[in-house]
Amino acid sequence: MPVQYENQYVTVFQSDLYQTTSTVVVTKDMILIVDPTWLPGEIEAIRQHVAENDGGQHKYLFFTHSDFDHIHGWKAFPEAVTIASRGFVDRTNKKKILQEAQDFDDYYYIERSYPVEYPQIDIIIDHDEQTIKKENTSVSFYLAPGHQADGVFAVIDELGILIAGDYASDVEFPFIHHDSEAYKHTVNKLEKVVDEKNIKLLIPGHGKCTTDRDEMRDRIGDSRWYIETLRDEIRQQKRLDVLEAFVDSFRFSRYLREEHENNKAQIQKEYRG
């Protein structure tokens, strides 16, 4: 599996599918595995990396949200303590999510050496700044609804690493599958954390990570602008050319345009109450 970014502590793997990232953070105290996905060979590369760096540390497996592409690898790490939000645990459509995962595997004739199941969660995140600390390593979690209702992002405090889930991407504008106001609130929270926590590395769920703080702020600002401008377009019931140009500026705009239309439908639904 290609490695997009690597330093002394963190390895960011990137799948060939949707530029999806899977992150492993290794310190003397813990190994944190985030959203291992997609293909069996890709997940096996992550598993081998964890095994090679296993010095008896505490192992944690963190799910940023419950989209099926982010939960495929749960059973490949049976020794890890799992982490996700209360919303993740309480999802009422778990069967639908699992069906999407199974449909993916069936469509591409994929066979796995482990079952694909909805993850059982050991540590449930209920509030912002809920923290796991082992000796000299601490991970703080923040609720992040908007893309989905059950999102969470995390900060490895001592290292200045922000694991953003499906936010702050360079290859996607916001995919608003839950609520636009909640998404905007999460974006504002990300901005505050970037500034207050002195973030040195931002890792999105899809696309390239960045160590450039100006780029972090630009991605966050672009996300906020997109949501506000799209809401203006829906309120005015008038197509805004600047918004269309923004969507077309993305590399994979033909696919992304479908998500843009979905966002419109979502905000229209919010306005209808």
Backbone angles phi, psi at 26, to 5 degrees: -120, 120
User: Residue 273 has what pLDDT?
Assistant: 67
The C-alpha atoms of residue 212 and residue 200 are separated, in whole angstroms, by 8
User: 50, 77 in Cβ contact below 8 A?
Assistant: yes
Query: Which residues in the chain show pLDDT less than 50?
Result: none
User: Residue 40 has what pLDDT?
Assistant: 94
**pLDDT tens across 49-63, in order?**
999 999 999 999 999
User: Residue 185 has what pLDDT?
Assistant: 98
The C-alpha atoms of residue 156 and residue 153 are separated, in whole angstroms, by 10
Decide: residue 35, CB within 10 A, 0-12 exposed, 13-18 middle, 19+ buried: buried
Alpha helices in the chain (DSSP H): 40-52, 86-89, 94-107, 180-196, 213-236, 241-248, 253-272
What are 45's two structure tokens?
């590369």
Which of 258, 263, 228 has the alpha carbon at shortest distance from 242? 228
The C-alpha atoms of residue 156 and residue 154 are separated, in whole angstroms, by 7
Domain ranges, ordered by start, for the chain: 3-213
The C-alpha atoms of residue 65 and residue 153 are separated, in whole angstroms, by 9
Decide: residue 30, CB within 10 A, 0-12 exposed, 13-18 middle, 19+ buried: buried
What are 82's two structure tokens?
């799992």
CATH topology of domain 3-213: Metallo-beta-lactamase; Chain A (3.60.15)
User: Residue 238 has what pLDDT?
Assistant: 86
